[in-house]
Amino acid sequence: MSEFSVIAPRSGCAFALRAGEELTVIDAEGGQVADLLAVNAADTREMLSSGRTLDYAERIYLTTGDRLYSNRSNVMLEIVEDTVGRHDFLLTPCSEATFRLCYDNEPSHQGCHGNLAHALAPYGVEPDQIPVAFNCFMNVPVDGVTGSFKVLPPLSQAGDRIVFRATMDLIIGLTACSAPASNGGTFKPIHYRIDADATARS
């Protein structure tokens, strides 16, 4: 088992994840969201697509066995383990505008969007390209009749995790989310680990 890497509260990072490798995202302290973005390492115009993924899954809550598709309808990641069962794939990464429009009494912050843009800039990804990210551990229950939703604290407890297997060579952007409502009002780190293949998973 490889060592964990740590994403500090309200920050983000980017790294390569090759086809066949597994990425484990851990909510180390509990109640913390991590926005995950995937980009084709060979062509950064191909990215994770919420719309295509939810269309093919015919569900909005994804878990073990579900596949995450790109804007070109290629499978980028498969969820191979999930100890929580509640994640969000509807809402865009929090941003400076999120704080301006949704939070009256919070100091501004660049949010996950700014953190992803900064981390992915060296790979040639422009801020305006950043789509809806897969929001690990984010808890957004939707009313089945009206479609209204709430952003509630995550259901994840300390040590909960979700594991993704890459099906193409990817650049991954990953954050420890900065939005108060998504994280129960406190900002915690996110841990992650890359394993060479499925046999390395414990």
Shortest Å distance, C-beta 154 to Zn ion: 12
Q: Kindly tell me which residue out of 23, 94, 125, 181 binds Zn ion, with binding defined by CB under 5 A.
A: 94
Options 46-54, 55-63, 77-85, 173-181: segment touching Zn ion (CB under 5 A): 173-181
Distances (CA, A) of 123 to 5, 19, 70, 114: 20, 18, 17, 15
Shortest Å distance, C-beta 116 to Zn ion: 9
Q: Does 112 bind Zn ion (CB under 5 A)?
A: yes
- Closest to Zn ion by CB, 136 or 168: 136
Options 11-19, 109-117, 142-150, 187-195: segment touching Zn ion (CB under 5 A): 109-117
Largest CA distance in the chain: 48
**Tokens coding 194:** 């890359």
Shortest Å distance, C-beta 120 to Zn ion: 15
Q: Does 177 bind Zn ion (CB under 5 A)?
A: yes
Of 178, 174, 167, 169, the residue nearest 191 (C-alpha): 174
Residue 30 sits at the vertex; the CA angle it makes with 148 and 103, to the nearest 5 degrees, is 45
Shortest Å distance, C-beta 46 to Zn ion: 23
Shortest Å distance, C-beta 10 to Zn ion: 8
Q: Does 179 bind Zn ion (CB under 5 A)?
A: yes
- Closest to Zn ion by CB, 81 or 106: 106
Exposed/middle/buried for residue 32 (C-beta within 10 Å: 0-12, 13-18, 19+): buried
Q: Does 116 bind Zn ion (CB under 5 A)?
A: no
Distances (CA, A) of 133 to 1, 107, 127, 145: 27, 23, 13, 25
Contact 39, 125 (CB under 8 A): yes
Residues contacting 166, CB < 8 A, separation 6+: 17, 18, 19, 20, 21, 22, 23, 38, 76, 77
Count of chain residues binding Zn ion (CB under 5 A): 5
Q: Does 166 bind Zn ion (CB under 5 A)?
A: no
User: Applying CB under 5 A, which residues contact Zn ion?
Assistant: 94, 112, 177-179
